[in-house]
Amino acid sequence: MLGKVMTFGMILVAAVEAVMPGTVPESGMILVLLGFVMGYMNQIEDVGTRTAYYVLAFTLPTIADSMDMIPAVGGYLNGFMDGLAMTIAGAACMTVLLQVMKMAKEA
């Protein structure tokens, strides 16, 4: 239940920030913190899935920037995808931290 609420919160904050930039103060920090919490709650054990998260966190902002080429809605898509990218980057960072802590405990 909490995971769904956080996902809808992420979508809402990213959408509001894409349509009306600056409306939500510190929206970037909110999205990254949501990503941290989501990454902690949904720990990924599969190496392939973790790698996909890392690649998506790295490439999604570039893909989002290419949305600017679409007339009328490209800027909104870019802003929305950038918001999603911030959350995914937060989740990827938390995943890295959790794996480092796991390796330290096993050493």
Distance CA 32, CA 91 (A): 8
Q: What pLDDT is stored for residue 48 in this prediction?
A: 92
Q: For residue 91, give both structure tokens.
A: 């989740």
Q: What pLDDT is stored for residue 59 in this prediction?
A: 95
Q: What pLDDT is stored for residue 43 in this prediction?
A: 87
Q: For residue 70, give both structure tokens.
A: 């679409």
| Dihedral of the alpha carbons of 41, 83, 65, 59, in degrees to the nearest 10 | -10
Q: What pLDDT is stored for residue 94 in this prediction?
A: 94
Q: What pLDDT is stored for residue 105 in this prediction?
A: 94
Q: What pLDDT is stored for residue 10 in this prediction?
A: 92
The stretches in the chain having pLDDT less than 50 are none
Q: What pLDDT is stored for residue 82 in this prediction?
A: 94
The answer to whether residues 103 and 50 touch, using CB atoms and an 8 Å cutoff, is no
Q: What pLDDT is stored for residue 55 in this prediction?
A: 95
Q: What pLDDT is stored for residue 45 in this prediction?
A: 85
